[in-house]
Structure 1
Amino acid sequence: MADSTPFLTRSDHSLESILPPSLDETIERCIGNFNWAQLLQAVLVSFSWFFDGQQTFISVFTDAEPSWHCTNATAGSPCNSISDICRLPKDTWSWDFPAHTSIISEWGLECASSLVKGLPASSFFAGCLISGLLLATLADSSLGRKNMLFFSCLMMSLGALLTVLSPNVWVYSVLRFVNGFGRGTIGTSAIVLSTELVGKRWRGQVGVLGFFCFTFGFLSLPAIAYINEGSSWRTLYLWTSVPGIFYCILVLFFVHESPRWLFIRGRKEEAVSTLKSMSTAGDGVATMSFSNVKLEQQGTMNADLFSAIKDLVEKPWALRRLTVVMLTGLGMGTVYYGMPLGLGNLNFNLYLSVTLNALSELPASLVTFFLIKKLDRKSSIIGFTILSGICSILCVVTEKVSGNLQMALELISFFSACTAFDVGLIYTLELFPTCVRNSALSMVRQALVLGGVFSPVLVAAGRKNGLWSFGVFGVAIGLCGLPVLRLPETKGRTLSDTMDEEENKDKITAAILA
């Protein structure tokens, strides 16, 4: 619990009474005790992940390979249950549902190459990737966390709404790219903003709120798809995009900007005002605390658009950390985004398998929520990635043994990947200071998304040979956690706000260990 005693009453014999307080100490003093105002802010910000989850996995249903049946099953008919649909006369088979239920059946893509079938989903993840690379620094520089969240969510929702008008797979792929471009920075902005609005005691739990919302967004898809079974795939985009637009209006009028970001940008009055509205210590303490705050480096206040990336690249310790967590993210993203898209390749009901996958994210989020204070970041990431890799490879081995066993292994693998993903994002935001935190986390998210860019093609290729999908997924995630061994542990550490502050912490830690 944060100390509510004013700075000026501290003992004169203590080091804190001599040195000016850091920004982190001031944040702790004002909002260290969690209250309803902070909870409402955290929930509202984190709910953006709900729409993020819907748009990320909506193609599981809209781009699904529909089931079909023979229309002339006489003894001499070439059509049977194991026939290759592409070699059958068109008048000998038919789709089980109306053609408009999937883009595959509506646009006659059943015999198209895996590249064409996977193009829309790959375009979506490519949009996410490019968006993260181009827009990541805006949340650390000119726009801030709140405005970045608003514009990203609005672009994603409008892109999804326009997708309804797609006349063919090529236009559809372009609009999915726009949809993904908007989505690219939502999760990053949301998790950084929500965790910077609370004290360190609740940082981990608040960060996990977004994962719960993402899970519920994912979980809503099979329900919406089942309700609209037989309807056009365009209906799913309407159901998911319109609520997202209304959510953007709520963000614009009711969400606060991060006081940390406001302060390092030189907007002290706005930072104090934000803290007063959420403070548990009283207005006087907030004002007095901020009047004494001193940053170890204030160069970031007038930073240009790409200064955050420049700082990450120029500092050897920052570049090393960024490289390692991005490599780890690449492997996790391959499984996290690829497995749900590959559920149609399993010998299991699609609606049920998607529901079970979405539900498996709940225990992953619960494990992170309740144990994040106790979990060592490094060992957790390594353990869960290895377990996920082993189970993913076993999915290929058991393909012809039992559909239920294959599904169980897939669920364990996906659960492990989700848990590693959750802990990995919390670990990343703890590794980097406020001035570059959003940019660093965005770069890691882009590494995750890069794995998603290749996943749809691997899934399409894996329809004939599971080694290309679940086999590749297993190897990728099984090896990705090992580089984390080179990074410092962050459990229980306070957040730094400048590069110099983080570098000094590293030097002190190294001196103690030596």
Structure 2
Amino acid sequence: MSDNNSQLLQATTEDEIVDSSQLLQAFFISLAWAFDAQQTFVSVFTDAQPSWHCTNSTLICTATTCTLPAESWTWDYPKHTSIISEWDLECSSTAMAGLPASAYFVGCLVGGFLLAPLADSWFGRKKVLFLTTLIMSLSGVFTAVSPNVWIYSALRFICGFARSTVAPTALVLASEIVGKRWRDRVSIIGFFCFTFGFLSLAVIAYIAGELSWRVLYLFISIPCVFYSVLVYFVTPESPRWLLVRGRREEALETLENMEVSNWNRSISSMVGVEVEWSNGDVFSALRMLLEKKWALRRLALVMITGFGIGMSYYGMPLGVGNLGSNIYFSVAINALAELPAALITFVLIERLNRRSLLGVFTSISGVCSILCVFMEGRWRMAAEVVSFFSACTACNVVLIYSLELFPTSVRNLALSMVRQAVVFGGAWVPMLVVAGRKEVGGGVTFAVFGIVIGCCGLLVCCLPETRRKDH
């Protein structure tokens, strides 16, 4: 074998090797996804419409408490189990009842556009992850002592603002401390952590539910405070980002500290066409995306696809209470659906094209969501779970796909913008869900979810395939 072939084989082999320290770091970084999930879906319980019953047997109970005398009905649970009952929002307008959840998603949108460039420029992945998890957790703690719905909504906005780049930054940082060939597989860790956070939320809510919605916020926020501190002291900066920023010595030192056996070859594998994108200030990544027509076109298409996925992905859990089933059981089933979604993503991501996966799962989600309108009982719940599972899988794939569509110096910004498109789809959900509570059966909301994700999923045909490509 010639020397050139030997060197090529060595480079290829070393790029496939991942040291145990790198995997441990990737796992720890990905834990941020668990706290992200808890803060995102906590409103399913804290902002829920509690069940009630009539106390006056001489009255005929109608479908709404707003038409009954105040003394003729009562909540089935203590008032402090939900903000709806504690602050008497049951007869408020759709906008008022949906304000806290909408404020959270609007905060995610604003934060995504303002914070994402920092991780790609001089601030770096590590510092952004530390600050955003810290602010997200502290705002959650302060939310627990909110005196009214206005302060509560403002704090939810701050939480969403900080949360906006937690998962994208964790995903990028975890994927950049390993070789290219491991990037998509390591990315799956975050999806499993998100599933764990979502599922644990249902358990925590069941335990803390009868105590208070305030206790629930404390249970999910305080551990995240400690996690953010550990991120600052334990997590390394991305060697790939350091190299792109021209800080080669720091990149080498980081790899040595991580005890990466192939650190010299790892640095060599990072050098490529991405270097031409490497210089600039805080908003240079944004300018690069706008100046490169091919990048702007890709971003627009994948963001529209993400919008449709986001409406179903966030809409299913938030709207599941409209289907008339037990909320703890329904959320737990939805959370469990994320686990096979992550497994399916892990299995199929190396075997099938990204575009095919997105097209299939967005179509399945759309069809099953529409079927919820025409079904009842357990069949309706089954259709909802399949739709949510498909939306989860599509969401996983679109994030991995976005990682591969853009180079290092704009990757965090591009991924965050795709993530914000997903969130923007979710921002419409609270109002739709609250409006659905007033509609008998609650199925029309799910028809909207299905139509939107099905139509947006068709746009993947216009994107390039990245499987087995050098990205």
1:201 Cα deviation after fit: 2.8
Cα distance 1:293–1:177, how it changes in 2: closer, same or farther (>3 A)?
closer
Which of 454, 458, 475 does residue 432 from structure 2 map onto? 458
Separation in structure 1 between the aligned mates of residue 392 and residue 349 of structure 2, nearest angstrom: 14
Aligned twin of 1:46 = 30
1:471 Cα deviation after fit: 1.0
1:264 Cα deviation after fit: 0.8
Aligned twin of 1:227 = 207
Matches within 5 A, 1:394-433: 394-398=371-375, 402-433=376-407
Whether 2:329 is the aligned partner of 1:352: answer yes
Amino acid at match of 2:132: S
Whether 2:191 is the aligned partner of 1:211: answer yes
Whether 2:61 is the aligned partner of 1:85: answer no
Cα distance 1:10–1:29, how it changes in 2: closer, same or farther (>3 A)?
farther
Give the share of equivalent positions with the same residue, in percent: 56
Cα distance 1:315–1:228, how it changes in 2: closer, same or farther (>3 A)?
same
SS of the aligned residue for 1:469 comes to: helix
Separation in structure 2 between the aligned mates of residue 29 and residue 436 of structure 1, nearest angstrom: 28
Amino acid at match of 1:240: I
User: Aligned residue pairs: how many?
Assistant: 469
Aligned twin of 1:109 = 89
Whether 2:310 is the aligned partner of 1:329: answer no
Which of 1, 6, 11 does residue 3 from structure 2 map onto? 11
SS of the aligned residue for 1:108 comes to: coil
**TM-score w.r.t. length of structure 2:** 0.95
Deviations 1:357-411 (A, max 9, x none): 000000000111222211210000011001100000110122xxx2111100000
Matches within 5 A, 1:213-292: 213-278=193-258, 280-282=260-262, 285-286=264-265, 290=267
Cα distance 1:349–1:467, how it changes in 2: closer, same or farther (>3 A)?
closer
SS of the aligned residue for 1:165 comes to: coil
Separation in structure 1 between the aligned mates of residue 256 and residue 364 of structure 2, nearest angstrom: 46
1:487 Cα deviation after fit: 1.3
Amino acid at match of 1:491: R
Whether 2:31 is the aligned partner of 1:55: answer no
Alpha-carbon contact 2:209-2:216 (below 8 Å) kept: no
Separation in structure 2 between the aligned mates of residue 142 and residue 381 of structure 1, nearest angstrom: 34
Amino acid at match of 1:461: A
SS of the aligned residue for 1:116 comes to: helix
Alpha-carbon contact 1:132-1:443 (below 8 Å) kept: yes
Aligned twin of 2:156 = 176
Separation in structure 2 between the aligned mates of residue 485 and residue 31 of structure 1, nearest angstrom: 31
Separation in structure 2 between the aligned mates of residue 494 and residue 256 of structure 1, nearest angstrom: 25
CA root-mean-square deviation: 2.1
SS of the aligned residue for 1:94 comes to: strand
Matches within 5 A, 1:368-447: 368-398=345-375, 402-447=376-421
Cα distance 1:293–1:456, how it changes in 2: closer, same or farther (>3 A)?
closer
SS of the aligned residue for 1:397 comes to: coil
Cα distance 1:468–1:142, how it changes in 2: closer, same or farther (>3 A)?
farther
**TM-score w.r.t. length of structure 1:** 0.87
1:441 Cα deviation after fit: 0.4
Greater CA radius of gyration, 1 or 2? 1
Q: Which runs of 5+ in 1 are unaligned?
A: 1-8, 18-24, 496-514
Alpha-carbon contact 1:79-1:88 (below 8 Å) kept: no
Separation in structure 2 between the aligned mates of residue 310 and residue 29 of structure 1, nearest angstrom: 36
Cα distance 1:172–1:45, how it changes in 2: closer, same or farther (>3 A)?
same
Alpha-carbon contact 2:50-2:85 (below 8 Å) kept: yes
Amino acid at match of 1:310: R
Separation in structure 2 between the aligned mates of residue 226 and residue 208 of structure 1, nearest angstrom: 28
Aligned twin of 1:481 = 457
Alpha-carbon contact 2:105-2:424 (below 8 Å) kept: yes
1:313 Cα deviation after fit: 1.2
Matches within 5 A, 1:54-203: 54-73=38-57, 77-80=58-61, 82-203=62-183
Deviations 1:281-303 (A, max 9, x none): 456x45xx758985446454431
Aligned twin of 1:503 = none
Amino acid at match of 2:311: T
Aligned twin of 1:342 = 319
SS of the aligned residue for 1:302 comes to: coil
Aligned twin of 1:504 = none
Separation in structure 2 between the aligned mates of residue 322 and residue 83 of structure 1, nearest angstrom: 45
Q: Which runs of 5+ in 2 are unaligned?
A: none
SS of the aligned residue for 1:129 comes to: helix
Alpha-carbon contact 1:30-1:275 (below 8 Å) kept: no
SS of the aligned residue for 1:143 comes to: coil
Amino acid at match of 1:96: D
Alpha-carbon contact 1:29-1:281 (below 8 Å) kept: no
